Amino acid sequence: MATIIDGKAVAAKVRSEVASEVAKLSQAGKRIPCLAVILAGDNKASEVYVRNKKKDCAEVGFVSREIDFDNDVTESELLKTIAELNADDGVDGILCQLPLPKGIDENTVLRAIDPCKDVDAFHPYSAGLIMQGQPEFLPCTPAGIMRLLDEYAIDVIGKECVIIGRSNIVGKPMAQLLIARSATVTVCHTKTSDLAFHTKRADVIIAAAGKAGLVSGDMIKDGAVVIDVGMNRDANGALCGDCDYESCAQKASFITPVPGGVGPMTRAMLLINTMTAYNKH
């Protein structure tokens, strides 16, 4: 039976580390790091996520600023707000919560964020640095996964790592971070013709396709490490990942649960990026 990778516990450790840094700044009478979050529209999942981010900021001692817009916000209004935040020396990190309302081009909005304040690492400049192995900020979910692997002493050097998913947020940057660690990486997706062919030879599987039950226990080899990034709903409405947890846990050496695995780490690494932005500011 697999060892469960406890993302909640590791995330709490990360928050404690950041809180210690902030406490030292406060004791020295220095300015406290500030994260500004733009929330546009009425997406309930986004509202919950932003609320949790504010909670995290309060826990570590960050200043948190939230700018809310209704569903009818225009692209020009968002760009104006981002320009103001870019110019504000009291703001270290800027995050524009996705998805945005219809009619607004996400790429245009994300590219408007100053790369020095791009704590989500979504800007093309940030992506280019990651590709070159010289990142200033790491995308939060892939960075959180790497931290989990480190915490559980899972070495990926020379290992066969299969990523399922090719998004700009998880799949592509995840591949770059693993390559930087000297892993051998294969990127698959929902249109891969024989997914099991690849997963059966993988030492590490990172499932981030957004499809419930995509990976089952008979698709992995004994002792594989299974990192489940998926956040789906099963037939009963309960949260579940991309992997069939019960069957995969019978064969894996390590596995992340959903919820409680990768999710908490994504928020924790946002704090790390904001601290990094503050130190570079």
Name residue 225's beta-bridge partners. Answer: 204, 254
- Asked about 97 being catalytic, the answer comes back as yes
Largest CA distance in the chain: 59
Out of 97, 176, 228, 244, which one is annotated catalytic?
A: 97
Under 8 Å between Cβ of 270 and 22? no
CA distance 196 to 215: 8
How many CB atoms within 10 Å of residue 109?
A: 20
d(CA 267, CA 144): 9
8 A C-beta contact, residue 222 and residue 249? no
Residue 76 burial by CB count (10 A; 0-12/13-18/19+): exposed, middle or buried?
Answer: exposed
Q: What does the DSSP 8-state code read for residue 30?
A: P
Active-site residue, selected from the candidate residues 56, 92, 118, 120: 120
| 27 has catalytic annotation | no
Q: Which residues contact 79 (CB under 8 A, 6 or more apart)?
A: 108, 109, 112
Residue 70 falls in the annotated catalytic set: no
Length of the chain: 281
Tell me the catalytic residues.
53, 97, 120
